[in-house]
Amino acid sequence: MSSFSLGSLARRQFLRIAAATGTATIAARSAQAAMPATVEQGRKVGAPLRPYGQPSPYEKVVRVSTTSTPTQISSWDFTPLQHLHGIVTPNGLFYERNHAGIPNIDPRTHRLLVYGLVDGARAFTIDDLLRYPAVSVIRFLECSGNTLTEWKKPTAKTVQVSHGLVSCCEWTGVSVKTLLQDIGVDSKARWVVAEGADAGLMDRSIPLEKMMDDAILAYAQNGERLRPEQGYPLRLLLPGFEGNMSIKWLRGLKLTTEPTYSREETSKYTDLLANGKARAFTFVMDPKSVITSPSGGMVVENKGFNEIRGLAWSGRGKIRRVDVSTDGGAKWNEAALQEPVLEKCLTRFRFPWTWAGGSAVLQSRCVDETGYVQPTLQELVRVRGTDSVYHNNGIQSWAVASDGAITNVQA
């Protein structure tokens, strides 16, 4: 937990902001003159109820989808991290990665087949799964390709495109352990091949140990049933593991002695090193953090107090500490962590920054409860080279120019 306390510093800073923007002078004028226009509007009858709520028409926050894929059905889009608050991603803004479009699955006919090294194969309906004891957890999900554009040079213009393949929500479903214990697992089983019902035939091999630890058969996110893009009616959730393994539109779990070496864990989702060898079965998403505000494409409008805000996460457990630098890593200061700080979950951090108007380079660096320190990009490249594509968790740098404009740089 952070030792930084807002307290009197923040109060003094607030008063300075208030004085600078004129909000403190309202009391000196008549209350009538200070009434905002919305008070007048509030006397008119407003819009009727609607069955499913939508954002205000004044809010235009949306995902950005890539245009660089050869076909539209292999696609991904990015969560607008710079415009979000707290740690929970709204369902409509959760990042997506689809390998063959989004299947339209009728939950009444969908089945989850559990087979292989079990005491009798079984096909479960969604209603069957809903009868099991339910669990809910708040966990991040990150594509291992998140930040892939940044290995060689600063490319993304915004944090949405550099880091927006991470999202976080409350997932509800059945613990895989509960289900497998109910079926009975053969003592020879070591791996589980999870199979998706999409046209991409997505499948990945998962150690049985992980499945019995904290894997969930999720049917709901943020209180409602999964969105089709997130695997409706059923997906696997492997907290802390690369997103690709949390198989969507889950239709099969096959228990085996060995991994299957499928396309998506050999030619894809392996990490090519400089010596020509590739790392395989790199499952865990290592600790990572990024400043989301102010960040690339934004402009720091006001001198004086500005709150630096960002997110940190670790596939290995809880975030223990986040440090922020405003001078490109020469000096680091501890940021405040917003509760709750949960394992394998986005953690919001904040740092009070007084901008004097000159140029600055903003960075964040996290440490998780295992003691892992987020590396600089240079440290990461020294070990992995620049061909890895996946698992770029290096420190991100945002340069603030003297006019306040922010760009992506490698510092």
CA 206 to CA 237: how far, in whole Å?
11
Give the residue closest to Co ion by C-beta.
282
Tokens at 168, concatenated? 């976080």
Q: Which residues are registered as beta bridge partners of 279? A: 271
- Looking at the Cβ atoms of 280 and 299, the one nearer to Co ion is 280
DSSP secondary structure string, 130-155?
HHSPPEEEEEEEE-TTTTGGGSSS--
Nearest distance, CB of residue 388 and Co ion, angstroms? 9
Q: Which is nearer to Co ion, 158 or 282 (CB)?
A: 282
Instruction: Count residues binding Co ion (CB under 5 A).
Output: 4
Nearer to Co ion, 364 or 388 (CB): 388
If binding is defined by CB under 5 A, does position 246 make contact with Co ion? Answer: no
Which is nearest to 293 in space by CA: 163, 411, 390? Answer: 163
Alpha-carbon distance of 89 to 311, in angstroms, equals 12
Stretch of 37-45, 92-100, 136-144, 168-176 lying at the interface with Co ion (CB under 5 A) = 136-144
Q: Which one among 144, 222, 246, 293 touches Co ion, defined by CB under 5 A?
A: 144
Residue 242 sits in the site that holds Co ion (CB under 5 A)? yes
Residue 74 neighbours by CB under 8 Å, 6+ apart: 98, 99, 100, 200
Residues 35-64, mask of contacts with Co ion (x by CB under 5 A): ------------------------------
CB of 270 to Co ion, least distance (A): 7
- What span, in angstroms and rounded, lies between the C-alpha atoms of 251 and 255? 14
Q: How far is the CB of 244 from Co ion (least distance, A)?
A: 8
* DSSP state for residue 365 in the 8-state scheme: E
φ, ψ of residue 311 to 5 degrees: the values are: -130, 145
CA pair distance 312, 345, nearest whole angstrom: 8
Stretch that binds Co ion, among 36-44, 235-243, 299-307, 329-337 (CB under 5 A): 235-243
Question: To the nearest whole angstrom, how small is the minimum distance from the Cβ of residue 18 to Co ion?
Answer: 48
Interaction residues for Co ion, span 372-391 (CB under 5 A)? 390
Give residues 74-113 in contact with Co ion (rule: CB under 5 A).
Answer: none
Q: Which two tokens stand for residue 102?
A: 């989004």
C-beta of residue 65 within 8 angstroms of C-beta of residue 75 = yes
- Between 113 and 148, whose beta carbon lies closer to Co ion? 148
Q: Count other C-beta atoms under 10 Å from residue 59's C-beta.
A: 9
Nearer to Co ion, 214 or 242 (CB): 242
Q: Which of 82, 167, 282, 393 binds Co ion (CB under 5 A)?
A: 282
- Can you read off the two tokens belonging to residue 309? 């805000």
DSSP H or E segment with residue 212? helix 208-213
Q: Residues near 339 by Cβ (< 8 Å), separated by ≥ 6?
A: none
Burial of 35 (0-12, 13-18, 19+ CB in 10 A): exposed
265 binds Co ion (CB under 5 A): no
Rounded distance between C-alpha atoms, residue 296 and residue 399, angstroms: 8
For Co ion, the closer of residues 105 and 238 by Cβ is: 238
Question: Closest distance between Co ion and the C-beta of residue 134, in Å?
Answer: 30
Least CB distance to Co ion at residue 255 (A): 22
Distance of CA 119 to the CA centre of its chain: 37
CB of 140 to Co ion, least distance (A): 15
Closest approach, Cβ 383 to Co ion, in A, equals 15
Least Å distance, CB 225 to Co ion, is: 29
In terms of CB distance, is 327 or 387 closer to Co ion?
A: 387
Which of the ranges 124-132, 139-147, 349-357, 398-406 carries the binding residues for Co ion, by CB under 5 A? 139-147
Per CB under 5 A, residues contacting Co ion are 144, 242, 282, 390
